[in-house]
Structure 1
Amino acid sequence: MKKFSLLILGILIGGFATYFLVPNSGESQIQAPDASAKSFMAQIAAPKGLITPDEAKALDGAFNDRHALISESIVKRPDNRSAWWSLEDMQNYLKYAENESKELGYTMDGVRVYLGAYPTEKEVGYTTMFIVPTGHKNLSRGSSAFFNMAAPGGDIPGGSGLNKGEPGMPPLANYPQ
């Protein structure tokens, strides 16, 4: 009877520890519908890192001095300030990158945006932005990781990036365009 009591106690402690320590991966990303909400957007949970248009303007404005330094002293001509991809291209890329990551033995957990410049033989090339998949290596055996608390992964080696977004119009235009 004493061993049975210890078994029940262990199950209860394990259940509580799991409930409080393991991130809820089954949690719905869609909030319960609000009776006063008139649009679908009011029912979708906002992503982490969402900023207001005023915050976007402040970030863009803070970049002006750095951009002027690059354009005037290094590139010596107006340079790109932004990149644009269609919604369809972004959705297709995310699906493609996730499938490619699986084939490479990784679980994709996000994307990283890099600044780059097109190489030229005679001068510094125009600035571009490109996206690469990030994730962590799949383990074929048991993991010693504490529950499911893995940190976000790094860039996936061999994963295809997305480039060739359209530049802003004009390329040196500030936010908003």
Structure 2
Amino acid sequence: MSKPKNCITPTEAKQLQENWMDTRALYIKNETGSEDVSNVFYTVEELEEYLTYVKNESKKQGIDSPGIRIYFAAYNDSKSKKATVFLAPTEGDAASSNTNYKLDPLNKGVGGWPPAPYKN
């Protein structure tokens, strides 16, 4: 298998993450008074399992080319107030595709703590 066309270099990734840390992460820290996670970890197995679920269940709904939308989110309970992300299937493979609310989103990734920059 060849490298996917939308891959970026580690240098580009580092710059994008620095942009986040220098702007949004700084605002979050100033507003909440504490640092927040800057990455969320899933195993390859968890992602493959979820993508298989989305592909199979979407096909049953007549959706041949689903997409995945990644939402930024935050907990707000007694366990955590930290940031997270969740993955939600879409009804097509275009950025404008509707979210498929008939399938469950994926959450419960592990937030990297303490926040660690992407370095190359």
For the superposition of Structure 1 and Structure 2, which TM-score range results when normalised by the shorter chain? 0.7 to 0.9
Matched, 1:72 2:49: no
Amino acid at match of 1:162: L
Any idea what SS the aligned residue of 1:129 has?
strand
- Pick 1 or 2: higher relative contact order, CA cutoff 8 A, min separation 6: 2
Identity %: 33
Query: TM-score w.r.t. structure 2 length?
Result: 0.83
Determine the C-alpha separation between the residues in 2 that align with 1:60 and 1:104: 37
C-alpha RMSD over aligned residues: 2.1
Q: Which residue of 1 aligns with 2:58?
A: 101
Query: TM-score w.r.t. structure 1 length?
Result: 0.59
Q: Which residue of 2 aligns with 1:17?
A: none
Q: Kindly report which structure 2 residues correspond to 1:6-17, keeping only aligned pairs within 5 A, or say none.
A: none
Q: Kindly report which structure 2 residues correspond to 1:33-112, keeping only aligned pairs within 5 A, or say none.
A: 44-64=1-21, 65-73=23-31, 75-112=32-69
List alignment gaps of at least 5 residues for structure 2: none
Amino acid at match of 1:155: T
CA offset at residue 86 of structure 1? 0.6
Q: Which residue of 1 aligns with 2:101?
A: 157
From 91, 115, 120, the counterpart of 2:77: 120
Which of the two has higher C-alpha Rg? 1
CA offset at residue 45 of structure 1? 2.3
Count of residues paired in the alignment:
116
